[in-house]
Amino acid sequence: MKLVRTLIAAAATLAFAGAALADINVGVSLSLTGPGSGLGIPMQKQLALFPKEIAGQKINLIMLDDASDPGKGVSNTKRLVTEDKVDVILGSCITPVSAAMAPVAAEAKTLQISGAPVGVPPGQDHWLFRLPQGTEVMAHAMFEHMKKQGVKTIGFIGYTDAYGELWLKAASDEAAKNGMKIVATERFARTDTSVTPQALKLSSANPDAMIIVASGSGAAMPEKAIVERGYKGKLYQTHAAATPDLVRIGGKDVEGTFVVSGPAVVAEQLPDSHPSKKAAIDFVTNFEKANGPGSRNQFAGHSYDFAIVMQKIVPVALKAGKPGTPEFRSAMRDAMETMGRTVFSHGVMNWTKDDHWGYTNETGVMLQVKDGKFVVAQ
């Protein structure tokens, strides 16, 4: 009888040890090829620095390329939840792909943390949280700056997809609140290689400022087209354009452009009182040590912040279940809503049951391209 009790105790100890050392599988779907690669590749590079272990659990990153294609994002998500049985999904980095992934992750009751500011119908983001700032938060910062610049009339050109639609709505709302008027609106597809007709119409309207809604390398093309049409007003880009690709491809045509961004890309320029300065400095220091001076990137910062999230929610979720179980996945989702005020490289986050965006209006930082570099705008 004593031997039986000893064997039972030993088996229990082994079972506990097995639970304590269970691997956490993290599925990642990013645009490593296609138009969104300028966003996905920096996120991938930052993930190379991801912790190998959190709360005593080994972390397995399962990285897939969604090729900037919503259909591929869906198939990646199905594979991750059925074959790889991941505990959480990071992705995608562009809005249309993230939106396509969301119903699949939700049906599998698997937490999705998007690297894109994706919007879904009300009530359908139970399993979806976002790392980038929402369009409303960033539009607030942009329009506050426009007020100081005396802007009254605005031209808008943006993607025909969800990202463009979200920004058009946010810009329209902010314009109405601030006594401004959008006098011309044009759209284009991510795959378009020219926007000459749209640029001609916008330039003819001659607004005080133009808002360009595009991402990564794709953000330079419409701005160059507008400048080549002789437009001399103020040019504004969104946070999806806060990447080195805008300057690299845009060259002299993007000099002077205002870009709204999270604080991570201008870490050293932040005042010491800024809550994100320490995290932002840590991000840019380690990222540029691994990838070279000047390689910092808004989207790489989101991968850095993803690690902060995981380090906070995993210990909480482990109290509810073992990695690989529905209990653990559900507990990770619940922990997102209750993690409280958390300092990211991109601002202060406080997700709640009713807010899966989390950032406040103080988050956005206005940058300006000067001598080929991003500096805090005056």
Per-residue pLDDT tens digits for 38-54:
999 999 999 999 999 99
- The three-point CA angle 287-336-57 to 5° equals 65
The pLDDT mean for the chain works out to 92
Domains along the chain with CATH numbers: 2-133+288-349 (3.40.50.2300), 135-261 (3.40.50.2300)
Closest Cα to residue 317, out of 332, 336, 334? Answer: 332
pLDDT value, residue 9: 42
Residue 347 is given by DSSP the state: E
Q: Any bridge partners for residue 61, and if so which? A: 26
pLDDT < 50 positions in the chain: 1-20
Q: Is 42 helix (H, G, I), strand (E, B) or coil?
A: helix
- Alpha helix stretches (DSSP H) within the chain: 2-20, 37-47, 70-82, 95-107, 135-149, 162-177, 196-205, 220-228, 244-250, 277-291, 298-317, 326-338
pLDDT value, residue 21: 55
Report the predicted TM-score, pTM, of the whole model to 2 decimal places: 0.84
